[in-house]
Amino acid sequence: MKKLFITTIAAWALTALPATSVADEAPAFMQDTFPETAVDGAWQEFQAIHDPDGALDARTKELIALGIAAQVPCDYCIYYHTNAAESLGASEAQIREALAVAASVRKWSTVLNGSLYDFSEWQQQVDEMFAQD
């Protein structure tokens, strides 16, 4: 009963607070396409992942995103992440290399998976490549 009372009071307190929606700050495309009830969370997640003070610098994140966008493929994402990477100082050579790395991963994933290459054999080879002398 005590737990129910506390839960009820907490729920009432939350409804009494003024709305602190960040949805109005979200880009129009997000507001126009995502469920209204989920925009706050989606925008907060986007900002947290793309935080320039994270473990990866912002340009690296955009180059990763561009490589993935090209693989999906998504014209919207390619356009956005190319512009974002360029605005953060990514050179044409860096963009080309990010795309080539993404293509290489896709190629070898296709070859290994399509060949049904033995995964334990693969793991052993990789472990040998990275073994400390």
Q: Are 86 and 95 in contact (CB under 8 A)?
A: yes
- Among 46, 39, 49, smallest CA distance to 19 is for 39
Across all residues in the chain, what is the average pLDDT? Answer: 88
What is the enclosing helix (H) or strand (E) of 8?
Answer: helix 2-16
Residue 16: pLDDT over 50: no
**Confidence at residue 115, expressed as pLDDT on a 0 to 100 scale:** 98
Average pLDDT over residues 24-33: 94
Residue 24's pLDDT band, with cuts at 50, 70 and 90, is confident
From-to residues of CATH 1.20.1290.10 in the chain? 56-133
Residue 4's pLDDT band, with cuts at 50, 70 and 90, is very low
Residue 6: pLDDT over 90: no
Say how far apart CA 117 and CA 21 lie, in whole Å.
50
CATH assignment of 56-133, given 1.20.1290.10, 3.90.1200.10, 2.60.40.10, 3.30.360.10? 1.20.1290.10
Residue 1: pLDDT over 70: no
94 class by beta-carbon count within 10 Å (0-12 exposed, 13-18 middle, 19+ buried): middle
Average pLDDT over residues 68-86: 97
**96-128 tens-digit pLDDT:** 999 999 999 999 999 999 999 999 999 999 999
Task: Compare 52 and 96 and report the one with higher pLDDT.
Answer: 96
Residue 21's pLDDT band, with cuts at 50, 70 and 90, is low
